[in-house]
Amino acid sequence: MEGQASPRIAVALHDIEPATFERCAMIRDWLDDHGVDRVTLLVIPASDLHPLDARSPEMTGWLTERRRAGDSIAQHGFQHRRLRRRRSGGAEFVGLDGRETKSALDAGWRVLKLAGIEPDGFVAPAYAYTPALRRLLPERFRWWAGLLQVHRTFPSADGAHHRLTPAWGMGTERPLRRILSPALIRGAGLLCGQTMRVDLHPADLRHPRHMMALEWVLDHAERRREAITYDELVGAS
């Protein structure tokens, strides 16, 4: 219909660090090949507590080039591992008090800033946010992403609120989700409405069925989805 807005897709590539860089770069090239020219890149600042630019200058240069090409960069935790020994999965900030939370958040931001890739937004590992973390995020970031929505940290010019935009993952890390995920991704491509969020992880490259399902969404939809970053999703760019 004339005048109808184009459907959009916001892809987030998770867990970018020196150990996963090669696979992440391959996934990013694959996305480019399928018309996804803008992606939100989720970078782990200090997975091994070494400065990012010293640990992998090649990756730092790649991130700089990707930003110039239109991608957005997000800080993805600090080490992307539990900082307290408790059953919280990959929930890095769960169990930390306000001081510890601020220390980890600021340390990660500084690592990326010194590497020349100051982040636009923040995504907590496992989408696990605590009240202390939520309070601190507006000090450093334009937005933060939860499982169901990307939240801006600045007031909207028109006072509008964003609709729910749940993130659809490939589910390759758990057996049951791994079986169901290709069908769910195809279904989401048909039913999710105006904006579809997709989470990709380095391990997804090892699962052809899942990548083929995403390829179907990108290449076989009735109306091709326009690629956007999280910055563009919340109107921060």
In tens, the pLDDT along 128-139 reads: 999 999 999 999
Query: Residue-wise over 95-130: b if at least 16 C-beta within 10 A, else e?
Result: bbeeeebbebbeebbebbeebebebbbbbbbbebbb
When pLDDT is averaged across residues 166-188 and rounded to a whole number, the result is: 65
Quickly list DSSP for 102-150. HHHHHHHHHHHHHTT---SEEE-GGG---HHHHHHGGGT-SEEE-SS-E
pLDDT tens-place string over residues 190-228: 767 789 899 999 998 888 888 888 888 888 655 678 999
Per the listing, tokens 């937005």 go with 143
Against a cut of 0.85, is the pTM above it? yes
What whole-number distance in Å separates Cα of residue 194 and Cα of residue 177? 25
